[in-house]
């Protein structure tokens, strides 16, 4: 039987985690799971139901009737592909907000654990190495200067035709870092046994090479 193992890639928004994790997974021939996309899908649903500010008990009820899946690179919410919708700028703040809720984290963390126990995966997020898979075989903490991250996010959004201001994107990145790093439940932090990579002055290929060499 083949060994099942997990590769955790954590770090703040815009550090290049998903592009890099996807490429590492492709090179290793294993699955890639974007856990941020799952929080974004939940945010999408809560916005649609006008429940982002609702009581946790009501949100729990909505979640019990919600299916979130990440397969073949697509984010599926209640059977519908929402991969495009979840990338909108307003969803980022909503995802960060709802990811602080216990009911949301409990549901998504257990789904992520089930996914990574069935097959080998590269999983990216905020708490993979510190919470979802504390025994992951390889752990990386990918970071970059906030201005560099904002520029990458700005380029990504404008390339998709979204109208955004650079200063606003930078503000959003800083406020999301603040929120993700200081929430009570599973905040973003480097696992003690994770390898830290600052990608501010590195190309995507250089980071992928570095990670693959480590593995």
* Contact footprint for ligand DC (CB under 6 A): 13, 35-37, 39-40, 92, 95-96, 99, 125-128, 176, 180
Q: Smallest distance from the beta carbon of 40 to ligand DC, in angstroms?
A: 5
Q: Which residue lies nearer to ligand DC by CB, 1 or 114?
A: 114
Q: Which residue lies nearer to ligand DC by CB, 13 or 146?
A: 13
Q: Smallest distance from the beta carbon of 184 to ligand DC, in angstroms?
A: 12
Contact 113, 128 (CB under 8 A): no
Q: Smallest distance from the beta carbon of 127 to ligand DC, in angstroms?
A: 5
Q: Which residue lies nearer to ligand DC by CB, 92 or 199?
A: 92
**CA distance from start to end of the chain:** 20
189 Cβ contact partners less than 8 Å away, ≥ 6 residues apart: 130, 181
Both tokens assigned to 89: 């700028």
3-class SS shares of the chain: helix, strand, coil, % to 5: 50, 15, 30
Q: By C-alpha distance, which of 137, 131, 40 is closest to 90?
A: 40
Q: Which residue lies nearer to ligand DC by CB, 116 or 211?
A: 116
**CA 179 remoteness from chain centre:** 14
Q: Smallest distance from the beta carbon of 200 to ligand DC, in angstroms?
A: 18
Q: How many residues does the chain have?
A: 215
Q: Smallest distance from the beta carbon of 2 to ligand DC, in angstroms?
A: 26
Q: Which residue lies nearer to ligand DC by CB, 5 or 99?
A: 99
């Amino acid at each position: 039987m083949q060994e099942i193992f997990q590769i955790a890639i954590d770090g703040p928004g815009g550090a290049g985690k998903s592009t890099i994790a996807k490429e590492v997974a492709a090179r290793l021939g294993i699955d890639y799971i974007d856990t941020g996309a799952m929080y974004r899908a939940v945010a999408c649903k809560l916005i649609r139901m006008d429940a982002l500010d609702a009581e946790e008990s009501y949100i729990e009820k909505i979640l019990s009737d919600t299916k979130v899946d990440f397969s073949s690179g697509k984010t599926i919410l209640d059977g519908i592909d929402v991969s495009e919708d979840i990338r909108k700028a307003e969803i980022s703040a909503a995802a960060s907000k709802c990811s602080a809720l216990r009911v949301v984290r409990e549901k998504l963390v257990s789904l992520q654990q089930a996914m990574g126990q069935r097959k080998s995966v590269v999983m990216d997020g905020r708490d993979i190495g510190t919470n979802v898979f504390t025994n992951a075989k390889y752990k990386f903490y990918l970071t970059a200067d906030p201005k560099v991250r904002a520029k990458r996010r700005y380029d990504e959004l404008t390339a998709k035709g979204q109208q955004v201001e650079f200063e606003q994107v930078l503000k959003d990145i800083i406020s999301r870092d603040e929120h993700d790093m200081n929430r009570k439940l599973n905040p973003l932090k480097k696992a003690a046994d994770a390898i830290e990579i600052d990608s501010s002055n590195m190309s995507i290929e250089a980071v992928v090479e570095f990670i693959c060499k480590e593995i």
